[in-house]
């Protein structure tokens, strides 16, 4: 069974129909069909929220949140062990802190991060990455 962590980059690509959207949609369909497991850090959810609000406004951001809630990804709170692992990634690599939460979550669940964020090249030896094209 596939195991995915959805980076905010991937979900924003899906929501905005950017390159890689089809790959994200495929992974979401796998999760919906019970053929894969999927996780989203609340930190990455927040990144999606503020990006959508800044780019599309307050009304649209609530529609985005409602759309994301339809997908059976497990929303993971930022508990102390996850924050510690994210901080360890941040201390060792030049990667955005929100991205570190996706990497930490992938490490915790032995999952693959879906992203096109080039910062993740630095952590490929520690977590699997599915690069969106």
Residue 98, strand partner residues: none
Whether the model clears a pTM of 0.85, i.e. scores above it, the answer is yes
Going along the chain from its start, the domains and CATH numbers come out as 2-131 (3.40.50.1010)
Question: Do 78 and 41 touch, CB atoms closer than 8 A?
Answer: yes
Question: Do 37 and 74 touch, CB atoms closer than 8 A?
Answer: yes
What is the pLDDT, as a whole number, of residue 59? 87
pLDDT in tens, 9-21: 999 999 999 999 9
pLDDT in tens, 2-55: 999 999 999 999 999 999 999 999 999 999 999 999 999 999 999 999 999 999
How buried is 93 (Cβ within 10 angstroms: 0-12 exposed, 13-18 middle, 19+ buried)? middle
Identify the three-state secondary structure at position 78: coil
């Amino acid at each position: 069974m596939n195991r995915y962590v959805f980076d905010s980059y991937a979900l924003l690509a899906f929501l905005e129909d950017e390159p890689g959207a089809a790959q994200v949609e495929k992974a979401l369909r796998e999760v919906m069909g019970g053929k894969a497991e999927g996780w989203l850090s609340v930190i990455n959810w927040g990144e999606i929220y503020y990006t959508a609000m800044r780019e599309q406004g307050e009304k649209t951001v609530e529609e985005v949140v409602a759309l994301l809630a339809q997908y059976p990804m497990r929303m993971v709170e930022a508990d102390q062990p996850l924050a510690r692992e994210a901080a360890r990634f941040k201390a060792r690599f030049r990667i955005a802190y929100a991205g570190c939460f996706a990497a930490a979550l992938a490490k915790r669940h032995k999952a693959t991060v879906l992203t096109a964020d080039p910062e993740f090249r630095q952590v490929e030896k520690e977590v699997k990455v599915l690069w969106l094209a």
